Chain A
Amino acid sequence: MEKYRANLLMCAGTGCVASGTPKVKDALQEELEKQGLADEVKIVLTGCNGFCAEGPVMLVYPEEIFYQKLTVAEVPKLVEEHFLKGRPYEKLMFKDPEKRAAIPLMNDIPFFKHQVLRVLRNKGLIDPDSLDEYIARDGYMAAGKALTEMTPEDIIQTIKDAGIRGRGGAGFPTGLKWEFASKSVADQKFMLCNGDEGDPGAFMDRSVMESDPHSVIEGMLIGAKAIGASKGVIYVRAEYPLAVARLETAIKLCRENGLLGENILGSGFNFDLEIYLGAGAFVCGEETALMRSIEGKRGMPRPRPPFPAHKGLWDKPSVLNNVETLAQIAPTILNGAEWYKSLGTEKSTGTKVFALTGDIKNVGLVEVPMGTPLKTIIYDIGGGMTNKKKKFKSVQMGGPSGGCIPEDHIDIPVTYEDIVKTGAIMGSGGMVVMDEDTCMVSTAKFFLEFTADESCGKCTPCRVGTRVMLDMLTDITEGRGQEGDIEKLEDLSRDIISTSLCGLGQTAPNPVLSTIRYFKHEYEAHIKDHWCEAGICSDLCSFHISEELCKGCGACLRACPQEAIVGEKKKAHRIIQELCIQCRSCYDTCKFASIEVKPAIRKEKPVSAVKEGGDK
């Protein structure tokens, strides 16, 4: 066996691949060879490291030095300094945002320091295509224990005692679900995994499948033993090609090594599984629709009962679990329920993975104990707003089924109970952070557009109701809102929630209700005053340049696609309102905050875009 003195774990998650990992890896390999270090220093491609904002990233062992924003141009210097001469290369290290000093060690970087990894225990630590490396981290030991030493009842009791709740959105107790299916009598049962991940902005499950596919398979294997299933299906959307490839490799390795198939680990237990590619319809993440989709039918939900635990895929008892739920099963079986419960709160045990996105500095994937204050996630881990001058406004949790949590609730601990109280939901873990430049009516409209689009059309309240709500929101954001619209929206919401067939319709109005709850004044301003304070709804605002603040740098003038800005160098510029289309380019470009948002000006549409000379 070859021996390496250093391991370079390069992130090959989707984010880092897009920002350049493959090129940097080739350059690195070439440079190591050139310096004669290729036999001593090994490059390992891993799944998502989580710190996507800083990609491509790389972790160097044994020193645990974290490098970020790698480029091909920096490779020769990096190799010479660190891998040849042993001097960690400061230029590529993470810099403390306040002190600007380099932070060499990964675990000292705030983004990583507050995290506790269970689901993501192997992220960035193993090669996801290597079965041996997974086994080295206790992989398949839990399956071994479950298959040879535990009865289905033992397994279910452990999961129940641990208090594991489904991470796919609804938070249903996993042990109970397994118990129902276990008690169903049938010649065939199915263990299914939900890797559809349809929430906009969410990428937790993709990362788990990419960085640690065996953790999902092992969880399914244990679940299969618990409920008595001999077949399994992982349902993944086809837009996740890397996740699919990693799962395929993992399944192949398992079959070759007897971890799937007959007589697994010599236990006499048989289980095999396949991957089913979904076309990426949101509704297909709903359990009954997902099962129909696997059957080759159109993905539409059906009424429950019968519940899948009794009649699921092909009318056989089935359990469907989310990717993240399954990834926590193996360590829980190995370490016991007490270990699992040692983190989190009484009703929300364990950890939760969140995908941080939006106007936040450290976009990425984080895992924290349940009960961690929302504030810690946004400020300590997330690093606050991308634009330091902007104030935090709200964080959207739970995607199209969830809601917006405003600033005065930001101290709440992240648990199922506390989040529901705010009108949002834990959901699957998407966290979209919004700063003060966000229009909450437009935000609600964005989610309604999504649900109206993704509604399968089977039941009327959802198909027609979401469309009517969307039309009303469109009117409000375009200045056609009417007195009484808010009440009408609330009314419609209640009806859609109580009469829709599946979770899609039953939760679709939530983004509207939660924004009305916390930001009613914005709805009112839009409707009564035709005024969008954030300057997002282009019909309800106008842009102006402050004479005092403008430095005449010309940046806005160059950014304006309409050539609507005029002014001489070093003198205050001016916007010609007749030409302005309120596209915000100037606002986003100005470094001196000199662009002001004011109520809309009624104006004639310009006949032609005449260019004006200087500012007279």
Chain B
Amino acid sequence: MAKLTIADLKKIKEKQQATFNLREGGYRAKVTVHMGTCGIAAGARDIMTALIDEITESKVNDVITTTSGCAGLCAREPMMTVEIADNTPVKYGDVTVDKLKEIFKDHVLGGTPVEKYALVMGSETTY
């Protein structure tokens, strides 16, 4: 194995940043996929998988994803909430994989909520 230099240390640190943003709270955006029984039935698991793929592909490391319970509006599942640091969370309903890709690009990466899919601004408190 190659010997490390100080520059390599910095590179390793950057590569690990995503993991430690997750553990230390240093993230810019948090995407919550609602996984109540209704959400799962409506396809929330596929949304989560697609979301993780998007994050991996875009190589960003300051976005974290998490799940939460039923958002209360079972008719509009799958639902997800996007929270960008210092901004009001936005809830999206009837999410599909295609819609997710658009939301991810415009809102999560670009910072502009995709109004046509948005249900509400604001979010219930979770732990």
Contacts and interface: CB of A to CB of B under 8 A. Distances in A.
B34 A135 contact: no
Contacts, number: 111
A68 interface: no
A583 interface: no
B52 A3 contact: yes
A36 interface: yes
A138 interface: yes
Contact of B13 (A65, A138, A256): A138
A141 B20 CA distance: 17
| Majority secondary structure, A binding face | loop
Contact of B20 (A4, A137, A140): A137
Contacts of A256: 1
A88 interface: yes
B42 interface: no
A84 B69 contact: no
A62 B30 CA distance: 10
B68 interface: yes
Contacts of A241: none
A136 B17 contact: yes
Contact of B35 (A86, A133, A137): A86
A266 interface: yes
A271 interface: no
B12 interface: yes
Interface in B27-68: 27, 30, 32-37, 40, 45, 48-49, 52, 55-56, 64-68
B15 to A, nearest CB: 7
B67 A85 contact: yes
B110 interface: no
A263 B2 CA distance: 13
B6 A265 contact: yes
A87 B6 contact: no
A62 B18 CA distance: 11
B66 A84 contact: no
Interface centre among A3, A39, A61, A138 (most CB of B within 10 A): A3
Nearest to B18: A3
A420 B40 CA distance: 62
A62 B64 contact: yes
Interface in A81-117: 83-88, 104-105
B9 A140 contact: yes
Q: Which of A5, A39, A104, A135 has the most CB of B within 10 A?
A: A5
Nearest to A147: B6
A259 interface: yes
A125 B22 CA distance: 11
B4 interface: yes
Given A5-B67, A265-B9, 18 more contacts: A3-B18, A62-B30, A63-B66, A84-B35, A85-B67, A85-B68, A86-B33, A86-B67, A86-B69, A125-B24, A135-B9, A135-B12, A136-B12, A139-B9, A141-B6, A141-B9, A144-B9, A257-B1
Interface of B: 1-6, 9, 12-13, 15-20, 22-25, 27, 30, 32-37, 40, 45, 48-49, 52, 55-56, 64-70, 126-127
